[in-house]
Amino acid sequence: MKPTPISALVRALFFVPALFPAAALAQQAAQQPEAPVAGDTAVQQVTVTGIRASVRSALSVKENSNSIVEVVSSEDIGKLPDTTIAESLARLPGLAAGLDRGNASQIVARGMGERFIGATLNGRELASSEPNRAVRFEQFPSESLSGAVVYKTQNADLVEGGVATSIDLQTVQPLKYKGRQISVKADALYYPLANDVDAKAWRPRLGGIYIDQLAGGSVGVALAASYQKQPSIEKRKNHWGFNENNSVDMTGDGRVDKTPWGFEDEVKRGTNERASVLGKVEWKLSPDAQITADLYYAKNKIYEPSVQHWTGDIGNWDGWQTPNFSNLDIRDGYVVGATVRDVTVSTHSTRWFQNMSNFAGGLNGKFNVGEWKIDADVATSRADRDSQWADVRQTSAPGTLSWAFTGNDHQSYSFTQDTGNPAIFGAPALYIDADGHVDDKLNSAQLSAWRPVELGPVSRIKFGARFSDRDKSFHQTTWNLATTATSLPASAFETIRSDGYFPALMLNDFNGTVGSLFGAGALSPDGRTQTTTDLLAGWRVKERTSAVYAQGDLEGEMLGLKYRGNVGLRVVHTKQTGYGMESRNGAAPTATEGGASYTKALPSANLILNLDEAQEHQLRFSLARAMSRAPMDEMRASRQLAIDTGSSQPATGSAGNPALLPMMANQADLSYQWYFDQGGLLSAGMFYKKVGSYIGITSDTTTIDGRPATLTRSINGEGGYVRGLEFAYQQAFTMLPAPFDGLGMAANFSYNESSIREFTGDLPMVGLMRRNGGVTLWYEKNGFEARLQANYHSPFVRMPRWTAGYLVENDEETYVSANISKYLTPQLQLHVGLDNITNQRVIHKQAGNPYIQNVMEYGRRYNIGLAYKF
């Protein structure tokens, strides 16, 4: 895809800081606020509101951390810079987000995908409703969080798992606020694309937070809640790929002309309904004891009716359809356009639902015992997902198909059949593929203790231990049903006519029509027998982990320069067991299991050298060994085997791999940071990671029951390096004359490269964005706030489905958004938001072929609302 004008503009904006003279960068503001204790990475609670205060708070945490971190800080009580933490994280240096339904969801960091991202809430590991381990960050709205800290380097006291980054989401601490705080807000969401598919364009979003101190200020309470019903609108056209191996010469020039398997289009109109609640109580029993109890619960209901059209087979296997083809457009050996006779079209009135819930709760105690500080914590996290795709399918008589899929987002095709006429389609059939359920349970306990010491450069020592027990499973059921009905009446449908798409027949009452055609329980899995495929798709994984660590904080002077940092060692032991079903030569599946155990030592060291007396110029250096565990769904024991009992030939088949070991990395970071002003930063950094035991799917030689076997499965294979450069600049231009002194800017750019290739398709490693960055221009003055943001990333490989081997290349994207707000009174604020202003589409390519594109359009999004503080 050619760079768009807006993406070129974003890249040019990275050089805007050079336009400002060095004197402006060096301008010092008035007295700085009291800094947090060195090494503290708790996001400060808001005492001053607004964009500028948020920037200063985040930079204060970043500057005083003993690690290399990025920070998101709230702008006000219950108000992050974006609607969800996922959007805010995606704007940080070195980070970006993969999109789900047009929303920022799973994080990509430093050129590495979600398998390398660790996620915690208040320092506690989170269960996940995804089959692997990935956390959907859009489930955390701004009302529930005070901010987030992204650790780019390792500490011994961090929960292991994030080779790329470890992201700690942090909830409010009510005892750090003064007095009662209440904030409520209500927004109306407007999605113009909904009008194009005859859907409801306006939807609500509500939220609020209450904070108070009771019992003379010894008890703090916080309660936050949010609700939104977001339109889930999509228009999509998808190329199914080419017949690479059994195409023929269609023009007589002696060269094979590869024909496509077919195409599909889709018009979707549904809802994405999310609700959450946070409750937290802090009780300061005495100056030496504090107890905290908290819980977080989120519910996400996705309901998406859609209509799809699928072409019949046009793959021309061994040339059987060649006489039916005409008007061939052949490029690079691929038939990218043609007309073909005797092709059917099927209409699919579908319904997808995906219900997810996430719970996290715990009890924490902090105690002072002499000079020792003790932190004890027990926690539990739960996640589950229920989903089902149902398809009422009808097929037409043969007609003529013409198409042109020439790349660069150009996709067009047409049928001679009238897809808006129900009479052309035959008998309906129901397909459920599949009714699936994920369940994840994670319990943990942690204990740590630290005290100040005077042991040369060691100023503090810290020891700790953590134990966790995780149990995750998946099962599915699929079924198909026929009916005696030969067709459906026109009254059963609503016809959707959308620009650039064929007339689409959507069932007026999906559940009602299915019930009348196929029976009252047609959509329920109750009482149905799982197929062999279903049984082999199911799995369960248990994982027990124990970890101990020791860490020393460093502080001293070297060569006349002050330094600080830490050095530590974390030792982790894990025992894992995968369960599943095994089928040999098509026989009925039987239970099987396997597993592994391992112990890993993870040393780490961080050093910050202050290059001047004011400690504005910092040189940061880090060395560490890190690990990211295997995705849990790839640790299943299920396998399907073909064994020739009459010979000694190796068995063949496909399988999971319960013996997968974690991916390990030796890594180094070097960063220069100049904190030249309140909220002012200029930084440059580089990192290098040597990743071993990289996990990918390939043909693996092993032994089963003493017999050689060749299986397609995930393995720990060769790794390689990941390295990159990161640049960041931000400043509030308070030195400018009024009214321009309310201006501010933040910009970042990252470049990443890697020698790692995926084992499937020889593609670059998942998550590798060679270039990504963003620019934010903001203005804040006299109760008025405005922010314009643009974020860019280059193409990268991702896994958009729950199938580990399904890889696509996500094309480059530039997202532009804007937010404007104004305090109408000291308590009442009006705000307006504009998202995806340029209507950026999402484009997935396959097999490195520019003609195989899945183009998705989600449209522009707007919101307007009011916020009130009591």
- Please tell me whether the peptide bond between 588 and the residue prior to it is cis, using omega within 30 degrees of 0: no
Percent of the chain with pLDDT over 70: 94
CA separation for the pair 627, 666 (Å, rounded) = 9
Q: What integer pLDDT is reported at residue 803 of this predicted model?
A: 77
Residue type, 354: Q
* Higher pLDDT among residues 318 and 804, named by residue: 318
Q: How far is CA 391 from the centre of its chain?
A: 27
- pLDDT confidence tier of residue 43, bands split at 50, 70 and 90: low
First to last CA, the chain: 50
As a whole number, mean pLDDT of residues 414-429 equals 95
Write out pLDDT tens, residues 84-110. 889 999 999 999 998 888 888 889 999
Write out pLDDT tens, residues 441-460. 999 999 999 999 999 999 99
Question: 343, 375 in Cβ contact below 8 A?
Answer: no
Q: What integer pLDDT is reported at residue 7 of this predicted model?
A: 40
571 pLDDT higher than 50: yes
Q: What integer pLDDT is reported at residue 42 of this predicted model?
A: 65
Q: What integer pLDDT is reported at residue 149 of this predicted model?
A: 96
231 pLDDT higher than 60: yes
35 pLDDT higher than 80: no
As a whole number, mean pLDDT of residues 148-152 equals 96
- pLDDT confidence tier of residue 16, bands split at 50, 70 and 90: very low
As a whole number, mean pLDDT of residues 675-681 equals 93
As a whole number, mean pLDDT of residues 247-276 equals 96
As a whole number, mean pLDDT of residues 338-351 equals 97
Rounded to 10 degrees, what is the CA torsion of 111, 116, 121, 127?
140
Q: What integer pLDDT is reported at residue 749 of this predicted model?
A: 98
- pLDDT confidence tier of residue 13, bands split at 50, 70 and 90: very low
| Prediction pTM value | 0.92
848 pLDDT higher than 90: no
Q: What integer pLDDT is reported at residue 46 of this predicted model?
A: 44
List the chain domain ranges. Answer: 5-869
Say how many C-beta atoms besides its own lie within 10 A of residue 557's C-beta: 10
As a whole number, mean pLDDT of residues 549-574 equals 96
Q: What integer pLDDT is reported at residue 41 of this predicted model?
A: 66
Give the closest residue to 439 by CA, choosing from 68, 131, 668: 131
Question: 450, 461 in Cβ contact below 8 A?
Answer: yes
509 pLDDT higher than 70: yes
Q: What integer pLDDT is reported at residue 759 of this predicted model?
A: 92
- Taking domain 5-869, whether its CATH number is 2.30.130.10 is answered by no
Write out pLDDT tens, residues 753-766. 999 999 988 899 99
CA separation for the pair 394, 48 (Å, rounded) = 61
Q: What integer pLDDT is reported at residue 247 of this predicted model?
A: 97
The torsion angles phi and psi of 553, rounded to 5 degrees, stand at -85, 140
Q: What integer pLDDT is reported at residue 28 of this predicted model?
A: 34
Write out pLDDT tens, residues 193-204. 999 999 999 999
CA separation for the pair 349, 267 (Å, rounded) = 10
CA separation for the pair 608, 65 (Å, rounded) = 9
Rounded to 10 degrees, what is the CA torsion of 361, 151, 779, 818?
-70
410 pLDDT higher than 80: yes
Write out pLDDT tens, residues 277-315. 999 999 999 999 999 999 999 999 999 999 999 998 899
709 pLDDT higher than 80: yes
Write out pLDDT tens, residues 599-658. 999 999 999 999 999 889 999 999 999 999 999 999 999 999 999 888 888 899 999 999
As a whole number, mean pLDDT of residues 138-148 equals 89
- pLDDT confidence tier of residue 713, bands split at 50, 70 and 90: very high
Least confident of 98-102, 112-116, 525-529: 98-102
550 token code pair: 């020791």
Per-chain mean pLDDT for the chain: 92
Rounded to 10 degrees, what is the CA torsion of 89, 131, 203, 348?
130
Which residue is associated with the tokens 């009135």? Answer: 349
